[in-house]
Amino acid sequence: MKFITMRNFMAATAITLLMILSAAGTVLAGEISGQLDHVSNTSISGWAFDSSSPNTSATVQILVKKQGSDSAVKEFTAFASSKRSDVQEQKGGNAYCGFSAEINWSDLDDGTYDIEAYVKGSKLPGNVQYKKTADGGEAVWPSSSSAVSGNMKSLGLFKTTGYCPCYSCSEGWGRHTSTGAIAQASHTIAVDPRVIPYGSKVMIGGVVYTAEDKGGGVRGNHIDIFFNTHGETRSHGTRTEEVFLLQ
C-alpha cells in the first residue's frame, strides 16, 4: 500500500488549486463583444457575446437612468440568444447573440433617459438616450453628437482598438498624426484610408470622430481610437462596434 505524506498531499492540493484558478482566469480574460444598437417606444435591443464562451448566451444587464442621475429607474436582464445574421456575417461565430427587452415608458416622468448595457460588468458601447414627452417619445443620440446634422450610413461592424501618445502606442509620434493634425481624445481615429478616407466623420458608440491618422496594424475594417492615457486605451481593449458614416 502506498501512503500519501502530508507534504505530498499539500503539494497535490496546491497544484489542483492552481489549475482551478488558471481555468477561472481564462474565463475572466474572455473578450466581451457587443453593442446596444436600438431603442424604441417599446423595446431596447442589441447584441453581445463572450468569446470565452461563444456557444453560451451572454447575460445582459440593461439600466435606464434619468439624465443627471446615477440611479437606475428601470433595470432589466436579457439573454443574448436571438438570431443576428448581420453580426455573424461580419464577426463570425454564433449568430444567436441578439438581445431585446420590452419597456413601457408611460410610467416614467417626462425627460431624457440614458440607456446602458453591461455584460460581466463591462459596459457595451452604443449607449443612447430616450427623450420622453407628453406627446410620446423618441430615441436620440447622446449630447456629444446631438449637434450633428445630415444623414448617417452604416458602414457595418468594425474592430475597434485604442492608442495614446505613449511611445509604446505611437512609436515616438506622440500626438502627431499622418495627416499633420494633432490627435485629440473623443475626436481622432486612425483608419485604413482605403476603407475610410482621411477627413471622414464617423460615429462610434454615439461619439463623432474624424479620420486623421493611420497605424501600421490598422487594416480593413479596423479603427484605432485615440485616448489621452494608456489606462484608457487598456480599458477600451478590443471591441466590435457598428460604425456610421456622417454624410
pLDDT in tens, 204-223: 877 889 999 998 889 999 99
Q: Is the pLDDT of residue 150 over 80?
A: no
CATH for the 32-140 domain, from 2.60.40, 3.20.20, 3.40.50, 1.10.10:
2.60.40
Return mean pLDDT, the chain.
Answer: 79
59's enclosing H/E stretch is: strand 58-66
Q: Per CATH, the architecture of 152-246 is what?
A: Beta Barrel (2.40)
CA–CA separation, 55 vs 39, rounded Å?
26
List the single range of 10-24, 37-51, 152-166, 203-217 with lowest mean pLDDT. 10-24
* 8 band by pLDDT with thresholds 50, 70 and 90: low
* Per-residue confidence band for 246, with pLDDT thresholds at 50, 70 and 90: confident
**Is the CB of residue 171 less than 8 Å from the CB of residue 177?**
no
Over residues 220-238, the pLDDT tens digits come to: 999 999 999 888 888 888 8
Q: What pLDDT score does 36 carry?
A: 83
- CA–CA separation, 239 and 40 (whole Å): 24
Domain boundaries, the chain: 32-140, 152-246
Percent share of the chain, pLDDT over 70: 79
Please give the Cα distance from 224 to 192 (Å, whole number): 10
What is the rounded CA–CA span in Å between residue 15 and residue 49? 31
Question: What average pLDDT does range 20-24 have in this prediction?
Answer: 34
In this predicted structure, what is the pLDDT of residue 22?
34
- Give the cell for residue 194: 482605403
Confidence of residue 50 (pLDDT cuts 50, 70, 90): confident
How far apart (Å, rounded) are the C-alpha atoms in residues 180 and 199? 12
Return d(Cα 157, Cα 33) in angstroms, integer.
11
pTM score of the predicted model: 0.52
Of 86 and 115, the structure prediction assigns the larger pLDDT to 115
| 154 Cβ neighbours under 8 A, 6+ residues apart | 242, 243, 244, 245
CA gap 241, 13 in Å, rounded: 43
Which grid coordinates belong to 62? 440593461
Spatial strand order of the sheet with 96-102 comes to: 32-39, 43-50, 96-102, 82-83
**Mean local confidence (pLDDT), 114-142:** 78
Burial class, 208, CB count within 10 angstroms (exposed 0-12 / middle 13-18 / buried 19+): middle
Residue 212 has which C-alpha cell? 486623421
Do the Cβ atoms of 166 and 227 come closer than 8 Å?
no
